[in-house]
């Protein structure tokens, strides 16, 4: 992208941010799902900085051991150390290791960017956890019960220990409380679960705020779906709601645009218009006081169906918005972000839709 690269440099002129690098990523045959997520993560500055710090401390001792963590760190380091400000990098080692680690990503089929992000973050956490207890790798202690999103329950061999909080958790992990009230005895059972991203059901002509409200709204468990109440010792009707107990530093929201349709016996893409604001305030659904966020990346799905199409990403870096499409990087207007909200009509020629949103908490220094 020599020409495109110099175009980008020209467009930014002396506003090109000091020390920043804008590199496209080569596509190895349908690896746009991977490229779009990698760009969003690269421009997640606290994550990038911690990954580079990890890399600088671990560069030498484990040359032989290749995993996604070391490959990602190597790739980010390679980008950040480029002499040129723009260009193209081939994330070859990373993609090869990904294909080795997970057969899902081995073929040349269109893959789901959210599945990839989820797999990657959990894999990074697993590697960091293994590295922090090298001595405890015997079979009895190395397989804690897994909960959602790769968190362990802090219990192995009946000995309670605090779950390890890695820098990946410090960036992305939040806590949900699942509250269930038995309608017979009124007992409220609250269970906390951690998350690294939130998957939201979407509706036509809605917003992230309304999707989040639906996510945490009261739901009645009845008929086939009753709740086992420990106090009543039986299945009972109950009311259930999810609350965000602790918001993460980086809030990743996955819009469930690919829905399984019973009538069609396949997944369908929902092109609904879902407004995602540049600044997001979470009110009424979280227990944390400070919950103002700023959008800094969007992974966009391009195309009308779930099993084909393309992914690109929009990234905010130093107050500029950039459009990353594999090898190509362009500067775009902030106002262009709204063209990725979705379509208000069922059939529309615009098939570029926001799919994964990355928000960073505005109130800094609250890193826990």
Does the footprint of Zn ion cover residue 231 (CB under 5 A)?
Answer: yes
DSSP class per residue in 114-141: HHHHHHHHHHHHHHHHHHH-GGG-STTT
- Applying CB under 5 A, among 4, 104, 147, 232 the residue interacting with Zn ion is 232
Give residues 249-268 in contact with Zn ion (rule: CB under 5 A): none
In the chain, the largest separation of any two C-alpha atoms, in whole Å, equals 71
Q: Tell me whether residue 232 or residue 275 sits nearer to Zn ion (CB atom).
A: 232
Q: Yes or no: say if 105 and 116 are a contact pair by the CB < 8 Å rule.
A: yes
CA pseudo-torsion sign 12, 18, 20, 21: positive
- In total, the chain counts a number of residues equal to 368
71 is catalytic: no
Beta strand 328-332 with 352-361 is unpaired
Cα–Cα dist 351/179, whole Å: 38
Stretch that binds Zn ion, among 215-223, 225-233, 265-273, 318-326 (CB under 5 A): 225-233
Number of residues that bind Zn ion (CB under 5 A): 6
Cα–Cα dist 273/275, whole Å: 6
Stretch that binds Zn ion, among 205-213, 230-238, 241-249, 343-351 (CB under 5 A): 230-238
Stretch that binds Zn ion, among 59-67, 158-166, 181-189, 301-309 (CB under 5 A): 181-189
Q: Yes or no: say if 192 and 176 are a contact pair by the CB < 8 Å rule.
A: yes
CA pseudo-torsion sign 115, 121, 123, 126: negative
Q: Tell me whether residue 52 or residue 232 sits nearer to Zn ion (CB atom).
A: 232
Stretch that binds Zn ion, among 2-10, 115-123, 133-141, 182-190 (CB under 5 A): 182-190
Does the footprint of Zn ion cover residue 183 (CB under 5 A)?
Answer: no
32 is catalytic: yes
Nearest distance from residue 235's CB to Zn ion, in Å? 10
| CA 286 remoteness from chain centre | 19
Nearest distance from residue 175's CB to Zn ion, in Å? 25
Nearest distance from residue 192's CB to Zn ion, in Å? 20
Nearest distance from residue 286's CB to Zn ion, in Å? 28
Nearest distance from residue 221's CB to Zn ion, in Å? 12
Angle, alpha carbons 192-143-197 (nearest 5°): 40
Nearest distance from residue 220's CB to Zn ion, in Å? 15
Q: Tell me whether residue 92 or residue 231 sits nearer to Zn ion (CB atom).
A: 231
Quote the DSSP letter at residue 343: B
Nearest distance from residue 239's CB to Zn ion, in Å? 12
In sequence order, which ranges of the chain are alpha helices (DSSP H)?
2-12, 32-42, 45-58, 68-80, 92-101, 113-132, 167-172, 208-215
* Catalytic residue (one of 114, 249, 301, 310): 310
DSSP class per residue in 285-298: SBS-S--EEEEEEE
Does the footprint of Zn ion cover residue 235 (CB under 5 A)?
Answer: no
* Catalytic residue (one of 32, 71, 182, 211): 32
- Applying CB under 5 A, among 72, 73, 208, 229 the residue interacting with Zn ion is 229
- Applying CB under 5 A, among 11, 109, 185, 336 the residue interacting with Zn ion is 185
Does the footprint of Zn ion cover residue 182 (CB under 5 A)?
Answer: yes
Q: Tell me whether residue 153 or residue 220 sits nearer to Zn ion (CB atom).
A: 220
Q: Tell me whether residue 7 or residue 240 sits nearer to Zn ion (CB atom).
A: 240
- Look at residue 367 and give its three-state secondary structure: coil
Q: Yes or no: say if 248 and 282 are a contact pair by the CB < 8 Å rule.
A: no
Stretch that binds Zn ion, among 109-117, 184-192, 252-260, 262-270 (CB under 5 A): 184-192
Angle, alpha carbons 193-196-197 (nearest 5°): 105
Does the footprint of Zn ion cover residue 184 (CB under 5 A)?
Answer: yes
The catalytic residue positions are 32, 310
Binding residues (CB under 5 A) for Zn ion: these are: 182, 184-185, 229, 231-232
């Amino acid at each position: 992208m020599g020409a495109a690269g110099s175009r980008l440099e020209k467009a930014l002129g002396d506003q090109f941010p000091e020390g920043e690098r804008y590199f496209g990523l080569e596509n190895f045959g349908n690896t746009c799902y991977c490229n779009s997520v990698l760009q969003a993560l690269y421009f997640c500055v606290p994550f990038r900085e911690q990954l580079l710090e990890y890399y600088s401390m671990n560069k030498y001792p484990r040359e032989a051991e290749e995993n996604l963590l070391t490959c990602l760190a190597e790739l980010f380091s390679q980008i950040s150390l480029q002499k040129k400000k723009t260009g193209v990098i081939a994330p070859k080692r990373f993609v090869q290791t990904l294909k080795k680690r997970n057969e899902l990503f081995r073929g040349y089929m269109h893959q789901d960017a959210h599945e990839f992000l989820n797999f990657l973050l959990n894999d990074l956490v697993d590697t960091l956890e293994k590295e922090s207890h090298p001595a405890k790798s015997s079979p009895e202690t190395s397989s804690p019960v897994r909960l959602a999103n790769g968190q362990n329950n802090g219990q192995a061999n009946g000995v309670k220990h605090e779950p390890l909080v890695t820098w990946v958790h410090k960036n992305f992990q939040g806590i949900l409380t699942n509250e269930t009230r038995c309608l017979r005895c009124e007992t409220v059972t609250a269970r906390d679960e951690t998350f690294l991203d939130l998957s939201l059901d979407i509706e036509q002509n809605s917003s992230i705020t309304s999707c989040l409200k639906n996510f945490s709204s009261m739901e009645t468990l009845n008929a086939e779906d009753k709740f086992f109440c420990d106090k009543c010792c039986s299945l009972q009707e109950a009311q259930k709601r999810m609350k965000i107990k602790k918001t993460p530093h980086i809030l990743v929201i996955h819009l469930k645009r690919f829905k399984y349709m019973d009538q069609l016996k396949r997944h369908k893409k929902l092109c609904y218009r879902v407004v995602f604001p540049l600044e997001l305030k979470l009110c009424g659904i979280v227990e944390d006081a400070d919950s103002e966020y700023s959008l800094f990346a969007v992974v966009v799905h391009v195309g009308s169906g779930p099993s084909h199409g393309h992914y690109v990403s929009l990234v905010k870096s130093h107050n500029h918005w950039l459009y990353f499409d594999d090898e190509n990087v362009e500067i775009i207007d902030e106002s262009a972000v709204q063209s990725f909200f979705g379509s208000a009509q069922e059939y529309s020629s615009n098939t570029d839709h926001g799919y994964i949103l990355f928000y960073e908490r505005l109130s800094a220094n609250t890193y826990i």
